[in-house]
Amino acid sequence: MRQNDKNFNVFIIESEKELMWNRAKNWMGLGKHSEYVKNYYGDANIRASVYMSVVVIILETWMILRTLIKYVILSDESRDFHWIITHFYSYCLLLAGGVVMLVFAVRYLKGKTENRLTGLVLIILLSAICLWFGMYISSVSYATGGQILTFLTMEIFVCTLLVWRPYISFLLLSGTFIAFYSMALKARGEFLEGDLINYFCYFIAALMVSFSFYHQRMKEATKAESLEAMNKHLEKIAVEDDITGIKNMNYFVEKTGELLKQEAERLSEKIFLYLDIENFKSYNDQYGFERGCDFLIQVAKKIDTVFADSVVTRQSDDHFLVYTERAGARERIETIRNYVRNYQDEVNLGLKVGGYIPVSGEIDPRLAGDKARYACGLIKKMYDKDYKEYDEQVDEKFHKKQYIVNTIDKAVENGYIKVFYQPVVWSKDGELCGCEALARWIDPKYGFLSPGDFIPVLEEQRQIHKLDTCIFETVCRDIRENLDAGNKVVPVSLNFSRLDFELMDAVGILDGFVQKYNISKDYLHVEVTESALVDDLGVLDRAINSLREKGYAIWLDDFGSGYSSLNSLKDYSFDVMKIDMKFLANFNQNDKSGIIIDSIINMAGKIGMRTLAEGVETEEQSEFLLSIGCERLQGYLYGKPMKIEELKEKIAAGEYHISDVVL
Ligand code: C2E
Ligand code: MG
Ligand code: MG
């Protein structure tokens, strides 16, 4: 313990010593300067040398004129010829030095030369001339009983106007003060005691002032350096993508915006490309976040290199945007695609690309990028296609999509959104045991829109909750009206989007309608599509539990349509499994379909789930499903989705018989 204390003290003492030594070094200006600080001092000295040389030029011109007029023209005989010549030459030398220095400094400051070293040499030369001049003139003067002011003026001039490192100031001042002391002593034979005291005080004062100048400037320089570093950093992050280091979307929008204007005449030769790495998500899942990021960085660099003469950005996630020349673009894409495929191991990687050729008058890079993205989205799950260009047909779809996004609020408000009901029957007797509520959009401009047109768009744009809220309320209201009319009512299943649970308090909202219309929860089934469960979101988990606690039946929609069907069975519990219609799609041609459906129904029974088959279109399918114990059936064989009025009419006409057992 003691030993440790001792060691600790030694360590402290040593580091304190080091600290003090470093402080002393810095105080004397012996520390290392960063490149920025060096340049800062160099520039400041060259700027100061302008004043220095102007003062020298004015002074020496005045002295030359004075000497010429007084001693040559007016023939003042108070000075001998030797005095006049030596002084005249000194003045001329200083004047020449001042002029050269001034010319250089002005050229440097105007940016006509960048040679800072020459500047430094000139400053040293001019300073040396000044000091030599001061010493010479004052020693001559002191010898004849005069003063030493010229020397002192030159000292202060050289040491305070320019900023030297303290140890240089010290050497310069000590050297010149000692040199002048011996020169003056030799010239006059004595150095008066009073003069010597003042002389020494002057030396100390000049030294301190030059030290203080240095440290003051050092503070300014380091402050300016950190400000500049901060600015550079800010400039960099303002235009740089934080993950990949290539340019970010802000830069892309600004730069491409300028180019669209500059290249307005030849926009047909340009193209916006949207690059989407296929299966990047699986790569991330398989190899982890860090490797995923690294892969993204490498691909970004590759795109940046292959399109070095173009504008490239990472738009989001694994999506990149490029604005480039049309000529040769496809070949470049191919290079990138091959690069991406090289990373392929257990995960199947690919590259989907959408292209959009800007039209004349195009000014919005974001919209152009969106169009390229839209074209790319159209080939998303098409394994035989990896490039799609935005054409007239796509344009129509794109505008429809824009329209849907922009009109959803109005559509809800104005009643364009309708609920169609599709019957669900018991397999054993064909009696009606429920309905599925399916959204339809009857639009004044586009006419009849099916969910395939608007559901994916609303989900992508995170607006789906608006539609679902409308459907939930309409269904609850319809049930209430039916009950009020004294009709027999069957439960209705509602389709929930995964995003409903993220974008709104879906459970609370549904509960609100149930209370508002005072209906039993037994009349509602919540359908959660299997693909919603792929992303393991805590939100979804909590919502499903809460719905269950509140007493709603939860149905698993489209079972078997995704990749992790069995996982969803393991992780969540559902009341009813809706078997995806794709199992029945080629029921006649494929012997295996029946075996698979049979096994699914068997398994569902074992884990306590009831079953419903979707997409039943033929009697043969219906009989088969009954034979293997599938409880509920839904499909065109029993009726397409229809308006509530039509359903009521059919019930009234006896086409559907409502079962006494509906749960
Ligand atoms: P889903 O929930 O699986 O709905 C069943 C779909 O299959 C419906 O298509 C229905 O018309 C169709 N269908 C039913 N029987 C047959 C058949 O025998 N043969 C064929 N070929 N098709 C049949 P729809 O109405 O176009 O809905 C498509 C999907 O859109 C729905 O699939 C559901 O996921 C979604 N959806 C529909 N309405 C809503 C809604 O209000 N909210 C949300 N979030 N999604 C909805
Ligand atoms: Mg459904
Ligand atoms: Mg379904």
pLDDT of residue 523: 97
Closest CA to 437 of 505, 547, 524, 507: 524
Question: Stretch 436-457: mean pLDDT, rounded?
Answer: 95
The backbone torsions φ and ψ at residue 580, rounded to the nearest 5 degrees and listed phi first, read -55, 145
- Kindly identify the ligand whose nearest atom is closest to the C-alpha of 496: 1
Contact status, residue 305 vs residue 322, Cβ threshold 8 Å: no
502 vs 565 pLDDT, higher one: 502
Three-state SS for 296-332 is HHHHHHHHHHHCCCCEEEEEECCEEEEEEECCCHHHH
CB hemisphere CA count around 134 (13 angstroms): 24
pLDDT digits (tens, 9 = 90+) for 101-120: 999 999 999 988 888 889 88
- AA letter at 259: L
3-state secondary structure of 493: strand
Contact status, residue 630 vs residue 432, Cβ threshold 8 Å: no
Find the DSSP H helices in 110-192.
116-143, 149-156, 166-188
Fold of 249-390: Alpha-Beta Plaits (3.30.70)
pLDDT of residue 422: 98
Q: Report every protein residue that has its C-beta within 5 angstroms of ion ligand 3.
A: 557-558, 614
Buried b or exposed e, range 436-463, using 16+ CB within 10 angstroms: bbbbbbebeebeebebebbbebbbeeeb
What are residue 426's DSSP bridge partners?
Answer: 632
Q: Please give the full DSSP string across 397-436, using - where no structure is assigned.
A: HHHHHHHHHHHHHHHHHTT-EEEEEEEEEETTT--EEEEE
pLDDT of residue 2: 41
pLDDT digits (tens, 9 = 90+) for 195-220: 899 999 999 999 999 999 999 999 99
pLDDT of residue 7: 47
Asked whether residue 9 carries a pLDDT value surpassing 80, the answer given is no
Ligand 1 centre from 413 Cα, in Å?
Answer: 23
Spatial separation of the C-alpha atoms in residues 610 and 601, rounded to whole Å: 8
Asked whether residue 548 carries a pLDDT value surpassing 60, the answer given is yes
DSSP state of 161: I
Cβ 556 under 6 angstroms from ligand 1: no
Cβ 118 under 6 angstroms from ligand 1: no
Asked whether residue 181 carries a pLDDT value surpassing 80, the answer given is yes
What are residue 492's DSSP bridge partners?
Answer: 435, 524
pLDDT of residue 5: 46
Closest atom of ligand 1 to 634 CA is 15
Cβ 468 under 6 angstroms from ligand 1: yes
**Burial level of 617, CB count in 10 A (0-12/13-18/19+)?**
middle
Asked whether residue 563 carries a pLDDT value surpassing 70, the answer given is no
Buried b or exposed e, range 123-154, using 16+ CB within 10 angstroms: beebbebbbbbbbbbbbbbbeeeeebebbbeb
Cβ 495 under 6 angstroms from ligand 1: yes
Asked whether residue 536 carries a pLDDT value surpassing 70, the answer given is no
Cβ 452 under 6 angstroms from ligand 1: yes
Map out the domains of the chain as residue ranges: 33-234, 249-390, 401-652
- Per-residue CA distances from 349 to 281, 343, 579 (Å): 10, 7, 30
Sheet holding 319-325, edge to edge: 311-316, 319-325, 270-278, 350-356, 387-389
pLDDT of residue 600: 94
- AA letter at 365: P
pLDDT of residue 6: 45
CA 596, 602, 532 angle in degrees (round to 5)? 70
Nearest CA to ligand 1 atom 11: 641
What are residue 17's DSSP bridge partners?
Answer: none
Q: How many residues does the chain have?
A: 663
- Per-residue CA distances from 126 to 52, 108, 155, 407 (Å): 9, 17, 12, 78
3-state secondary structure of 36: helix
Cβ 423 under 6 angstroms from ligand 1: no
Cβ 635 under 6 angstroms from ligand 1: yes
> Percentage of residues in the chain with pLDDT exceeding 70?
97
pTM: 0.65
Cβ 470 under 6 angstroms from ligand 1: no
Write out the two tokens for 609.
């789930």
- Per-residue CA distances from 586 to 197, 359, 616, 623, 627 (Å): 114, 45, 11, 16, 18
pLDDT of residue 278: 92
What superfamily would CATH give domain 401-652?
Answer: EAL domain (3.20.20.450)
Among the residue ranges 180-189, 252-261, 297-306, 560-569, the one predicted with the least confidence is 560-569
pLDDT of residue 52: 87
* Best residue among 416, 425, 494, 495 to mutate for probing ligand 1, ranked by most atoms within 8 Å of CB: 495
Contact status, residue 625 vs residue 597, Cβ threshold 8 Å: yes
* Best residue among 408, 471, 614 to mutate for probing ligand 1, ranked by most atoms within 8 Å of CB: 614
Spatial separation of the C-alpha atoms in residues 337 and 604, rounded to whole Å: 43
pLDDT of residue 75: 83
Contact status, residue 346 vs residue 291, Cβ threshold 8 Å: no
Residue with tokens 């191919």: 334
Write out the two tokens for 364.
């919005």
